[in-house]
Amino acid sequence: MRRSGLGAGIRLAVTLSIVAAVVFFAFPILFAPRVEVPEKVQYGSASSVMFQIANQNLTPLRAVEYSCEVSRLVLTSGAAVRDANVLNRGRFPRIAGRRAALGRCQTGYIVTMPVKAAEYKLTVTYTAYPWTARKVLTVRIAAQFDAKNEVTGWKTD
């Protein structure tokens, strides 16, 4: 017995509709944006780090805002730098699906002495299309140092 072309076409249309609904509505809930930092750097500085906010979904992120502040800055002598905190802010009206946008965290302290630890707290707020609720992503970005106390890379928690 042969199946009619109409029945197969309806079945295909229903299947594609379900897949589209999952991608369109469920993916923005399941897959949050990702913050990427350079794992290896040459001549890195603890006073500044570049990062990118990567949209893992096919649908865009809207009203993306970030703020970045120093959460920890410790000199090799063990003294914590208390006056390094500067709040950096940035805004992207839209990050298209499967794209990324660049940002920077930096201190208000000019680092002239060797640093033992540097960590930033990055907070990203965004709206995932088609949803209207604001979501918040908080990431800690920590410097990695070599034996000479030079920044060789960054990692996120």
pLDDT confidence of residue 3: 56
pLDDT confidence of residue 2: 55
* Higher per-residue confidence, 30 vs 88: 88
| Alpha helix segments (H runs only) across the chain | 5-21, 27-30
What letter would DSSP give residue 55? Answer: -
Bond from prior residue into 28 cis (ω within 30 degrees of 0): no
* Higher per-residue confidence, 157 vs 1: 157
pLDDT confidence of residue 134: 96
With CA atoms as reference, report the closest residue to 94 among 62, 67, 59.
62
User: What pLDDT digit, counting tens, does each position of 82-140 carry?
Assistant: 888 788 999 999 999 999 999 999 988 777 888 999 999 999 999 998 889 999 999 99
Q: Which residue has the tokens 């970005």?
A: 141
Residue 86: partners with Cβ closer than 8 Å, 6 or more residues away: 69, 70, 106, 107, 108
Structure tokens at 95: 């990050």
* 61 contacts 33 by C-beta, under 8 angstroms: yes
pTM for this model (two decimals): 0.86
